[in-house]
């Protein structure tokens, strides 16, 4: 990971990747006190990282805070139950629209980060169809936008605009939801 102080990059910390043992356990050694972003990679096939719980917090959505060298009890859950949100974007007259960006973001703004796993976006196909895959369960805002930059999620005025222009949808564990967007 990269280290920063007051937004100034100081360079990498040189943290190494850790492989899980056959029984599913792993050890993260040599962590200095601080705040970390946990990423899970190397999961193949139909599996994906569902959560990484520590003291009631999903550290895939929040920072992993290390107060001392021991982070006992971190439980990573992988699943083959994929959830998705699909639909289509149509004009007021019913014609397919493909020149927009479909964005889904969690209702909880505390989870809004440019690299957040709960923020997805996609351009619809020429027939207006879209699919957003592997969304963790929860409540989301769905909108079709003319302009979107992932860094917009840091801007409070963007959040207010997204909330005003969105539909609320709920994604359930392992379920496929559908929500069509009709432009007014």
pLDDT confidence of residue 12:
53
The alpha carbon dihedral of 168, 172, 173, 176 has a sign of negative
| Mean predicted lDDT score pLDDT of the chain | 83
Cα 136 to Cα 18, 34, 62, 83, 149: the distances in Å are 24, 26, 14, 7, 22
43-89 confidence digits (pLDDT tens)? 777 888 888 888 888 888 887 788 765 677 888 888 888 889 999 99
Q: Is 135 exposed, middle or buried (0-12, 13-18, 19+ CB in 10 A)?
A: buried
Whether 9 has a pLDDT exceeding 60, the answer reads: no
Residue 27 tokens read as 């050890």
**What is the C-alpha separation between 67 and 48, in angstroms, rounded?**
28
Residue 139 tokens read as 């409540």
pLDDT confidence of residue 1:
46
pLDDT band at 94 (very low <50, low <70, confident <90, very high): very high
pLDDT confidence of residue 101:
92
The closest of 131, 138, 143, 141 to 168, measured between CA atoms, is 141
Q: What is the pTM of this model?
A: 0.75
């Amino acid at each position: 990971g990269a280290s920063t102080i007051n937004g100034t990059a100081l360079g990498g910390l040189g943290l190494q990747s850790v492989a899980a043992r056959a029984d599913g356990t792993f050890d993260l050694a040599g962590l200095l006190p601080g705040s970390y972003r946990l990423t899970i990679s190397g999961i193949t096939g139909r599996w994906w990282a569902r959560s990484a719980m520590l003291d009631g917090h999903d550290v895939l959505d929040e920072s992993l805070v290390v107060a001392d060298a021991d982070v006992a009890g971190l439980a990573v859950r992988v699943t083959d139950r994929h959830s998705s949100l699909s639909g289509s974007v149509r004009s007021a007259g019913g014609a397919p629209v493909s020149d927009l960006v479909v964005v889904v973001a969690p209702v909880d703004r505390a989870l809004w980060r440019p690299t957040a796993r709960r923020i997805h976006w996609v351009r619809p196909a020429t027939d207006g169809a879209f699919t957003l895959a592997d969304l963790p369960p929860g409540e989301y805002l769905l909108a079709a936008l003319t302009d979107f930059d992932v860094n917009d999620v840091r801007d409070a005025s963007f959040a207010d605009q997204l909330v005003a222009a969105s539909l609320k949808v709920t994604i359930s564990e392992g379920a496929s939801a559908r929500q069509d967007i009709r432009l007014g």
